[in-house]
Structure 1
Amino acid sequence: MQWAQNYNPMGNMFLSFVVACIPLVVFFWCLAIKKMKGYKAGLLTVAVAVLEAVFIYKMPFHLALEATALGGLQGLWPIGWIIITAVFLYELTVASGKFQIISDSIASITKDRRLQALLIAFSFGAFLEGTAGYGTPVAIAGGLLAGLGFNPFYAAGLCLIANTAPVAFGGVGIPILTSGQVAGIDVHLLSQMVGRQVPFLSLFVPFWLVFIMAGWKRTLEVLPAILVCGVSFAITQFLTSNFLGPELPDVMSAIVSMACLVLLLKFWQPKTIFRFKDEKEEPAQPEGLPTSKTNYSLPQIMRAWSPFALLVVVICLWGGSASFKAFLSQVTLMIPIPGLNQMIEQVRPIVTQATPYAAVYKFDVLAATGTAILVTCILSKFLVGISWKTWAQTFGVTLKKLTFPLIMIVSVLGFAYIENYSGMSATLGLGLASTGTIFPLFSPVIGWLGVFLTGSDTSSNALFSNLQKVSAHQIGVDPTLLVAANSTGGVAAKMISPQSIAVATAATGQVGKEGNLFRFTIKHSLFLVAITGVITILQAYIFQWMIP
């Protein structure tokens, strides 16, 4: 017998909304106030969520446990698998000694920490988001920055904040494709609408990134670089999303912004080289002189960078070729969860008609992004020239290093799934949707909540796109705008998503400091989602010509 979700268990929508916020408040309290380690905060929060699902939402106990377990499995595969392999690839370059060459080659472009953050955290991170998604940008870019000498905490925080603008089109446009399918809206129209919202963030984030690092005065010193990086990214993102579709905006924007920034730095450098407080500042090198103390030959530099170059090729092949992806997907297990699959019924207005909630675990052995990164790691063994013994030892060290982050990821994915299957997340969305004509201001907040809960803009769109469409019709606003706003608002929550924070701390050696990182990013996340809300309500009632 199916159990039907009840989105108003208290009989009063406001009270139900308040009650649904309890697990979120517990999680915020654990990280921001009690400063608990991430895995402890995650385990406590999922326990609270299960109890609320059972006693408040009247969800059968076995369904609550199975939904939580399914989320935990998703935390291990595919998400945990991506994190393990991404961090492993970085550790291989360190173990082989090639990372020092990578570090010096970047310093030959610029030693300035502000510009290195723009190149790696913003532009290169956007490329990884566009091709792989999940935690790959934070894991790889965060590890690179920490290895370059960035304060590890700043490396983690900056990569989380930088991974904002590309999220809506991440993973070759999967978030937009998903929202179009769920809401029944043309994918190209959604791509155009998101492409008329997110570029405003793309213009702003590079400036904000440097401002966080260096303050107002030192930000103005590199304003030419910030403008070149942000403007080139935003324009390319707008053009590709509006004229080509949702698959390529991140990849194209990242390539263009990196190329433009590197070209600028060939002819211009800031007057002083910015370092962090524990580093010594130095004047810029005179023009014509190398900025790196160690000179390497081009073949040496190419060999050092070869694992990351290979990563780009392999991930593009894995995700970009439909025929190859179909071939890999043949080795995929679709495992219905006994006792949970089709046993929960979603009801209106989350869905247009009562629909059984599927619970199928997808174990895509070959098609998973993590497997693509593992293939890169295997081939990189030959590129960087290390023994199989060192390769295996490095893998073992990586697994040991990631034990607690993986526990946190398993717990927070369990939390996400119990929120979704119990109907708590729907209560949160409906509570915000009841704000009437000012709902466009809060529409992005629903996407923000979805990404915070699930760690994925794709999952948030799958969960809330139809709610956004229904609410838009009720208040007389174009549904394309609000469905797009769900995706755009979600990008601001990526930096505070528990799974993203777990990836960032693992990649930069900050395990146990998840609470500090959460407190560092939360204010920036709230600020950016507020900007998105203002953009959305202006487009809803004043700049309606911006809606395709």
Structure 2
Amino acid sequence: MFVQQLEPVADSLALSALVAALPLVTVLVLLGGVRMRAHYAGLIGLGVAALVAWVAYGMPVVQTASSAAQGVLFGLFPIMWIVVNALWVYRMTVRTRHFDVLRRSFSRFSDDPRIQALVIAFCFGALLEALAGFGAPVAICAVMLVALGFDPVRAAVVALVANTAPVAFGAMGTPVVTLAQVTGLPLDTVASVVGRQTPLLALVVPLLIVAIVDGRRGLRETWVPALACGVAFAAAQFVASNYISAQLADIVAALLGAAALIAVPSARRPAEEPVRAAVLTGVRSEDLDHEDPRPEVLRAYAPYALIIAIFSIAQIPPVKRLLARATQTFDWPLLNVADPAGHPVGGNVFALPLIGTGGTLVLLAGIATAVVLRVPVRAALTEWGRTVGELRHAILTVVSVLALAYVMNLSGQAAAIGHFVAAAGAGLAFLSPVLGWFGVAVSGSDTSANALFGALQVTAARESGLSPELLAAANSSGGVLGKMISPQNLAIACAAVGLKGREGDLLRKVLPWSLALLLVMCLIVVGQSTFVLGWMLP
């Protein structure tokens, strides 16, 4: 049995924590300073973590390798299993041109560019985040706004700011699933706390969007539909994440947010020409005037309806118990780890949910989508293979980062850092979202930031007397606000709208919004750690 040590370096917690931080520092420097590609940075960071675990923390080489292998398996299944199948569904809608039908359907909701920005960047962007994630919502929504006649810079800024509230539950809940796994906290508990933080952002972001699009006039004239959209989105995200399924949170929120927006009479009024002239300074795409048959419009919405239906059925208690029977739980080979108190850690046992996992449910929805959209079997299989190929670097990044996280967690490195950071005491509640924000700003992924810092947050919380669930959730909720300033997302936005090389210009425009919203999230978490907002927690 390998027993974790908190002070293996010169019997000093500070020095041990400093050495334990080397893998994290390596990854962050390679990503943020050297601008190395994420999958290379992840692999190098994994090598450093393994070296520290073996040399400094005394973890046997075999157990170190076994820890990394467990992280790799979790990265492949269920994490990337979810992402691949979700993106596959999206790719089939593109192949059959039903994505274009959906885009035209959204553009007809209103001719007011401020309302169009809400429908496309906020609501439809959340749908794309639910299915694709990894920068796809920013690229696609920015292009759609430019097609409507938006200035490229404004379109990119709107898309970046909108890609905040849905990120924690993106890619069918991948960030919170990862957070639950690396922290050992129940998924339902983690998702419920995140679902009591990010919905508060959803109340604000639609108002920011109309202000970015049309300044004070936009806020003055369209605050009612914007607020209605935000309230509906927030309420749906809260209910879905707490009482239905974390994987459905963004899909349900996006659809209800769009429905509430269009239900407001003022949102459907024709926009005044001065407004359109001031906002729509680009060239409008001609294909938006194409009329689509009603059956094709219904088919375009079918994939999302199928996903909601399948996930809802899977939450029915008898069905849920039936699916759970397929979960395989076994002792992980070549791994026998105890915490500093001598108690076996959870990583010694591994659970493999074969059918009840989100990726398998999305796969079933994808098969049904192929039938509804009339995609031939060969074409559907081809798209699945191409999806895997398209995500190859993302897959390598995720598995390497999760392998790094597992090595750090099981060797005791994360525990040492957490015990050292716990010295901040109550100040941790304020700093916790900042750590998540920094992680996403550098890595571009809430999933990666949760894998890197989730266990650290939980250890620090337990040592300082704060709620582990609160700080773990704060890592993810704060992280979503770093998404808009990450080099990865800025590059995607610039490439999508033809602004290559102007990432710095976009950064200067979105950084103030990112910092302002981060401050709000920090205050929310501080409030939730005290009696002021403590009543919000489950």
Matches of 2:50 and 2:271, distance apart in 1: 54
Are residues 1:488 and 2:471 paired? Answer: no
Give deviations 1:159-208, integer Å, cap 9, x for gaps.
Answer: 652425768x958997999999959xx969x95x7776544333233345
1:105 Cα deviation after fit: 0.8
Q: Give runs of aligned pairs for residues 119-518 of structure 1, distance below 5 A.
A: 119=119, 122-123=122-123, 141=137, 145=141, 148=144, 157=160, 160-164=163-167, 197-208=197-208, 214=213, 216=215, 220=219, 222-234=222-234, 254-264=254-264, 266-268=267-269, 270-271=271-272, 272-273=275-276, 279-280=282-283, 292-318=288-314, 320-340=315-335, 343-347=336-340, 354-444=343-433, 455=448, 464-465=457-458, 467-472=460-465, 479=466, 483-494=469-480
**Greater helix share, structure number:** 2
Q: Which amino acid aligns with 2:44?
A: L
Contact 1:447 1:486 (C-alpha < 8 Å) held by counterparts:
no
Give the Å deviation of 1:484. Answer: 2.5
**Residue pair 1:67, 1:421 contacting (<8 A) in 2 also:** yes
Conserved in 2, the CA contact under 8 Å of 1:202 and 1:233? yes
Q: Note if contact 1:142-1:508 (Cα within 8 Å) is conserved in structure 2.
A: no
Cα distance in 1, alignment partners of residues 474 and 490 from structure 2: 22
How far, CA to CA, are the matches of 2:38 and 2:368 in structure 1? 33
Relative distance call for 1:166 and 1:14 in structure 2 (3 A) is same
Equivalents in 2 of 1:21, 1:522: separation in Å?
A: 27
8 Å contact kept, 1:460–1:487:
no
Structure 1 distance, partners of 2:387, 2:490, is 14
CA distance in 2, matches of 1:357, 1:539: 28
Distance 2:385 2:373 in 1: 18
Matching residue's letter, 2:474: T
Structure 1 residues 448-457 or 414-423, which shifts more? Answer: 448-457
Distance 1:306 1:105 in 2: 14
User: 2:491, 2:382 → 1: CA distance?
Assistant: 21
**Stretch deviating more after TM superposition (486-495 or 454-463):** 454-463
Residue type at the aligned position of 2:359 = G
The secondary structure found in structure 2 opposite 1:35 is coil
**SS at 1:109 equivalent:** coil
Alignment CA distance shift 1:170-1:118 (3 Å): farther
Conservation of the 8 A alpha-carbon contact between 1:448 and 1:486:
no
Distance 1:307 1:528 in 2: 33
Structure 2 CA distance for partners of 1:20 and 1:358, relative to 1, 3 Å: closer
User: How big is each residue's C-alpha offset from its partner over 1:26-54, in whole Å with a ceiling of 9 and x where there is no partner?
Assistant: 22222222222221122122122222222
| Secondary structure in structure 1 of the residue aligned to 2:338 | strand
1-structure distance, mates of 2:305, 2:156: 26
- Could you tell which deviates more after superposition, 20-29 or 144-153? 144-153
Percent of aligned pairs with the same residue? Answer: 27
Q: Deviations over 1:302-359 (max 9, x none)?
A: 12222232222223223x223223222333333432111xx111236xxxx7343433
- Following superposition, the deviation at residue 224 of structure 1 comes to 4.0
Q: Which residue of 1 aligns with 2:149?
A: none
Shift of 1:400: 2.1
The aligned amino acid for 2:404 is F
Deviations 1:446-467 (A, max 9, x none): 7768997964869977775475
> Offset at 1:373?
1.7
Q: Secondary structure at the match of 1:11?
A: coil
Which one-letter code corresponds to 2:478 in the other structure? Answer: A
Give the C-alpha shift of residue 87 in structure 1: 1.5
Give yes or no for contact 2:83–2:132 (8 Å, CA) kept in 1.
yes
User: How many Å separate the matches in 1 of 2:23 and 2:217?
Assistant: 40
Whether 1:98 and 2:94 are equivalent positions in the alignment is: no
**How much is the aligned-residue C-alpha RMSD, in angstroms?**
4.9
The whole-number CA distance in structure 2 between the counterparts of 1:249 and 1:204 is 18
Which residues in structure 2 correspond to 1:510-529 (within 5 Å)?
528-529=517-518
Residue pair 1:450, 1:490 contacting (<8 A) in 2 also? no
1:334 partner SS: strand
TM-score by length of 2: 0.75
Q: Which amino acid aligns with 1:425?
A: A
Could you tell me which runs of 5 or more consecutive residues in structure 2 were left unpaired when the two chains were aligned: 147-151
Residue 62 of structure 1 aligns with which residue? 62
Change (3 A) 1:36 1:533: same
